[in-house]
Amino acid sequence: MRSCLLVSSALAAFVLGIGVSEGASAQTASAAAPATASPPRVVRYDTEVFAELPAVEAPVLSPKGDKVAARIAVNGVQYFGVFSVEGGKPAIIALGDTDLNWWKWVNDEWLVVGIGQTVPVEDEEWYLTRAYGVRADGTKLVKLNKETAGQNASDLIWVARDGTPRILLGSQNSIYGSQPDFWPRVDEIDVTNGRARRVQPGMAGVWDWYADGNGVVRMGYGLSDDGRKRRLYYRQQRGENFKVIDKATSIHDSIEMPTLFLSDPTKALIIGDDADGFSSLYEYDLTKLERGKQLFASKGYDIDGIRIDGTGFGYLGIDVTRDKPGMVWTDPSMVALQAKLDGMIKGGSPEIVSMNRDRSVVVVRAGSASAPGGYFLYRAADGSMTSIGSVNNTIGMRLLHRVKTIRYKARDGLEIPAVLTLPVGDPHNAPLIVMPHGGPYARDTEEWDWWAQFMADRGYVVIQPNYRGSSGYGTKFTRKGQGQWGLAMQDDLDDAVTALAAQGIADPKRVCMVGASYGGYAAMRAAQRDGSRYRCAVSYAGVSDLNRMLRFNGNFLGSGARQDWLRQQVGDLKGVSPLNFPEQFSTPILIVHGKEDKRVPVSQSRLMAKRLKEAGKNVTYIEQPEGDHHFTREADRLQFLKALEAFLAKYNPI
C-alpha cells in the first residue's frame, strides 16, 4: 500500500495535465483528475502493469474517521488490513485460507468480518460461513460462532450505534436439518469477547432475520425444506408474536420485503417493480400491507439500493446504475458535498464510497472507465484531499482507451446494451474480443476493467454485451434469459459480432471470445457450438457441466428451489453443457482455473480439458496452484495475462 500523500504530491507524478478549479488551494488544486484525453499513445504498457493489484480496494472508514479497513496489496498478495489515515504501517488481519465476504466497523476499535470456506463434510464439499470480531490493531481475533455452526452463520443483522461493541448476528448452529439448532437464531454478541445473549430463538422454516434501527428483530424470511415455498413473518415491536404477512407457493410468485423500517413502526420502504417492470422505491404501510407513494424511479433502469443514514431509520440517497454506476443523493447535505467534490475533481467522476459518523471525513474514488484512478481522503474541516491508495500505481490517473455504451439489435429484435472499449486511433476492421460478463445475472458498465483495457492496449476492440437475462434492465429483460443459457443468450453474443462488422469497426473473421465464470462457460459454449464464428476462445474459472454444478450447489438449503430456478433458466442442462460434447469443439481454447477457487470447483475445468485432450482437440490448460476466483494474487494475474496475450497473438493476431 502506498503511504498517504497530499494529492498535490500524489498527482504531480502523473503525466497528464490536470483540470484545476479557479481559486483552489494548494492542497485541493491537484486533487483534480485529467479534464481532457491524452493524445494517442504509440508505446503500449508492459503486461506486468495491467497485472498490478490495487493498492487499496473497498475502503471503509471507522466511525471517527481516523482509520480505514480495506483489502490491501502487500508484496503482490491481497490481504485484509486496517491503516491510519495519517499513514504508517497497516495492521494485516490474518484470516487464513478463507474468502473475506464482508466487513463492518462496530466502533472505533473493533470490526466484525464475515468469512467463508469450502470444507469436506461427509465426502462432499460444503461452503460454510463464519463471523469474527477483529481488533483494529490486528492483535485480537474473536470467534463469534459455535464450533457446530453451519453454512449460514455470518448474517450481520444490526450494529449498535452508541459506541458499544454490540452486534446482532443470525447464525445457523448445525448443518443437520434434524437438529433443533439447524434454523438460525439471533444473538446479541459482544465482539470483544464473543459473549452472546439470545434475542430471537430459531424458528422452523425461517432462514433470515431482519432488525430495525434500534436492534429490534422485526421480520423473518421463511423457506420450506426444499425451498420452493416462502413466507414472510412480521411483528411491529419486541415482545409480540410473529405473524405471516405474505407468502409464495412457487418460484414464480414474489414476496414484497421491506428494505428499511422507518421510525414510525407502521411504516417502511420497499424496492419493488413499477408498472413497467423496473425496480423503484416506494413507501409501504405495514398495517395495511400495501404500497404507498413512489419515492424514486429511474426510467429504463432498475435501482440498486439505498444508502442508509446513521440513525438506521432513514436514507441519504439511491444507488442507480445506468450506463455507469451512480448515486442520486436525496439528503441536502449530501447533495452539497457531492457538488463540492465535483468542483474539486475535474473529469474524474468522484464517487463517495465511505463516510465517518458525522460525515466530516469522506473516502472518494476518482477515476473513470478509461483511468483506474485511486482513493482519496477528503476532510471537510480544512478542505484537504489526501491520497490513500491507487487502483493501479503505474497508470494512476492517466487516460487509456476509450469506453462507451452502445446498443445493438439481436436477431429477434431485442435491444442489447453493451460496453465497447476501443484501441488507440480509429479502428476499422479490427480484430475483436467478445467478453461476456459472469453471473450471469449481473451486468457490465462503464467502469475501469483491467482485462478490457489490457486487450485494447494490445490493439483489440473489446465488446462486453449485456445479453438477455442480465440484471439492471428490468424484470422483462431479465426473464428473457429464462431457459436461454447457451441458446438465445449465446446468440446475443454472436449478434454483437454482426453489429460491429456492419459498422466497419470489427473484422468478423478475426474474433475470439474471452470470459470468466459464466463468461467462461459462454466461451466454452462458443468453441463447442459456434466454432466457425470464432478463431479462438478463452475460459477463466468457467463452468463446463451444469448438472455437476447443480449438485455442488445442491448441498445448500433451498436446493429444491435453486434446482427449479436453474432448470427454468437453462432448460436442457445436458444439452447446453460443453463437457458433454468435446468432439464438437472446432476452435482452439485456452482454459485457466485456480485450484483454490471456492465459487466454481476447479474440476469444472479439469474435466473439460481432459475430455478435449482425449478427443484430440486443440486445448491449452493452466491450473494455478494458489489461484482463487477473484485474482487476489498478482502472480496469478500476470500468468493469466501472459498466457492470454500469447494465445491471442497466435490464434487471433493483430
Which CATH code fits 5-390?
2.130.10
> Tens of pLDDT along 339-365?
999 999 877 679 999 999 999 999 999
Report strand pairing: 374-379 vs 361-366: antiparallel
> If you average pLDDT over residues 618-638, what whole number do you get?
97
Q: Please, where are the H alpha helices in 432-578?
A: 450-457, 475-479, 488-502, 518-529, 546-553, 559-570
- Tell me what pLDDT residue 168 has: 99
How far is 269 from 528, CA to CA, in rounded Å?
A: 47
Q: Considering the chain, what percentage of its residues have pLDDT values greater than 90?
A: 77
- Better-predicted residue by pLDDT, 284 or 348: 284
> Tens of pLDDT along 563-573?
555 556 566 88
- Tell me what pLDDT residue 40 has: 46
- Better-predicted residue by pLDDT, 647 or 176: 647
Phi (first) and psi of residue 33, to 5 degrees: -90, 170
Architecture of domain 403-651: 3-Layer(aba) Sandwich (3.40)
Cα pseudo-dihedral 622, 624, 630, 631, rounded to 10: -100
- Tell me what pLDDT residue 176 has: 84
Q: Is the peptide bond before 440 cis (omega within 30 degrees of 0)?
A: yes
Evaluate whether 5-390 and 403-651 have a shared fold. no
How far is 532 from 432, CA to CA, in rounded Å?
A: 15
CA-nearest of 644, 523, 518, 646 to 585 is: 523
Q: Which three cell numbers stand for residue 443?
A: 451486468
How far is the CA of 63 from the CAs of 40, 104, 144, 318, in angstroms?
Answer: 44, 10, 22, 22
Tell me: pLDDT of 272 over 80: yes
> Tens of pLDDT along 229-270?
889 999 999 999 999 999 988 767 778 899 999 999 999 999
> Tens of pLDDT along 517-539?
999 999 999 999 999 999 999 99
**Angular region, 504: left φ>0, alpha ψ -120 to 50, beta rest:** left
- Tell me what pLDDT residue 36 has: 36
Q: Considering the chain, what percentage of its residues have pLDDT values greater than 70?
A: 89
Task: List CB contacts of 36: < 8 A, sequence separation 6 or more.
Answer: 17, 19, 347
- Tell me what pLDDT residue 115 has: 94
Tell me: pLDDT of 89 over 90: yes
- Tell me what pLDDT residue 4 has: 33
Q: Which of 123-127, 324-328, 459-463, 616-620 bottoms out in mean pLDDT, i.e. has the lowest?
A: 123-127
- Tell me what pLDDT residue 563 has: 54
How far is 405 from 454, CA to CA, in rounded Å?
A: 18
> Tens of pLDDT along 44-86?
899 999 999 999 999 999 999 999 999 999 999 999 999 999 9
Tell me: pLDDT of 626 over 70: yes
Tell me: pLDDT of 221 over 70: yes
Q: Which of 251-255, 408-412, 559-563 bottoms out in mean pLDDT, i.e. has the lowest?
A: 559-563
How far is 455 from 423, CA to CA, in rounded Å?
A: 8
> If you average pLDDT over residues 397-416, what whole number do you get?
97
Q: Which of 322-331, 339-348, 507-516 bottoms out in mean pLDDT, i.e. has the lowest?
A: 339-348
Q: Do residues 269 and 306 lie in contact, with contact meaning Cβ atoms separated by under 8 Å?
A: yes
Mean model confidence pLDDT for the chain: 90
- Tell me what pLDDT residue 569 has: 58
- Tell me what pLDDT residue 282 has: 98
- Tell me what pLDDT residue 611 has: 99
Residues linked to residue 269 through DSSP beta bridges, in sequence order: 260, 283
Rg (CA), the chain: 25
> Tens of pLDDT along 430-442?
999 999 999 898 9
How far is 459 from 426, CA to CA, in rounded Å?
A: 11
How many CB atoms are located within 10 Å of the residue 132 CB?
Answer: 22
